[in-house]
Amino acid sequence: MPVTIYVTDATYAHHDHERSALAGHEYTLTVRQCRSAADVISQCADAHVLLNQYAPLTREVFAALPQLKMVVRYGVGFDSVDVTAASEHGVMVVNIPDYGVQEVADHTLTLMLGIVRKVPQIDASVRSGVWNDNLFHPIMGLHHKQVGLLGFGNIAREVAKRAQAFNMQVHAYDPFVPAEQFARHQVTATSWESIFTQSDLICIHLPLNHETKHFINAERLAMMKPTSYIINTARGGIVNSVALADALRAGQIAGAALDVLDQEPMPVDHPLRGIDNCIITCHVAWYSEDSLVRLQYYAGLEIARWCAGGLPKSIVNRAALLANGSISV
């Protein structure tokens, strides 16, 4: 029997890469553009697999789709999926953590250099007809400055390499990473408190969950040096935007550079809009033409592994499914 696959929603020009990965398997792939849980229920009712970008996959969705076995999320994050409900219904939730590692690391360094060197402000000044570097003093040098990484997964490790190439000292906080990984990458393991109090630059590489939501808050921003910067290419909800805006306006920290926000797209009344010492890009860190191909192809490969009788490589809720007997090793 063919595997019934629905793309719940996506912004891609085509889905040839997924089909290429699924070559040799019997399946149907139908593209929808669902905007709500009700749309998913009405338009994808007979799905075995959902390929998901933004459409909300709620408890109601899992209850209403009895044949559903797997959700593959286009990307690293899985905020759109009720993972607990999926686990209770025996549905694998799969993400694609390795498609854009280099791109996000590159963008992190781009934001770091841009905010420290005040590139957007200088560019705007020059274009307005003003040629005066004195307007942008002081600018901090990066040589031997301390970079603190919150999280030390694949992206953070690539950021560490890039920072070390600039002769910066790299420290990281991640209680889930063994000591040998820090040693292998010549990075000093430290506490999150030390990250905030000692770092000249803090880069966020945490997942968003109930423990990390608003991890960057007024209290922790107050711990930072007034000359320090914060860079976020992880998830917008990790940062309390109101607290960050207040800290930037008060000169409590020197600047921030963000690729992600707690509200996307950025609303006109967002607290960070109009703050000069804050660079904001539009959740684009993941993107290159190469990474887009990898994302779609890797998503198809995860389904192909299951079609072949195996398990996907990156099951977010693996432990829960093993515990309730929905999958076996």
283 is catalytic: yes
Q: How many CA atoms lie within 13 A of 231 on its CB side?
A: 27
Alpha helices by DSSP H, listed for the chain, are 16-21, 37-43, 59-64, 83-88, 101-116, 119-127, 154-165, 179-184, 192-198, 218-221, 241-249, 289-307, 318-324
Q: Give the single-character DSSP code of 52.
A: E
Could you say which of 14, 184, 193, 264 is catalytic? 264
Could you say which of 25, 117, 185, 283 is catalytic? 283
Could you say which of 162, 235, 270, 294 is catalytic? 235
- Is the separation of the CB atoms in 287 and 75 below 8 Å? no
3 state SS of 202: strand
264 is catalytic: yes
List the beta bridge partners of residue 251: none
Interatomic CA distance for residues 37 and 48, integer angstroms: 16
Interatomic CA distance for residues 278 and 42, integer angstroms: 42
Interatomic CA distance for residues 271 and 28, integer angstroms: 45
Sequence-ordered list of residues with C-beta below 8 angstroms from that of 293, at least 6 positions apart, any chain? 17
**Which residue reads 């905020």 in tokens?**
79
| DSSP string covering 223-248 | TS-TT-EEEE-S-GGGB-HHHHHHHH
Which residues are marked as active site? 235, 264, 283
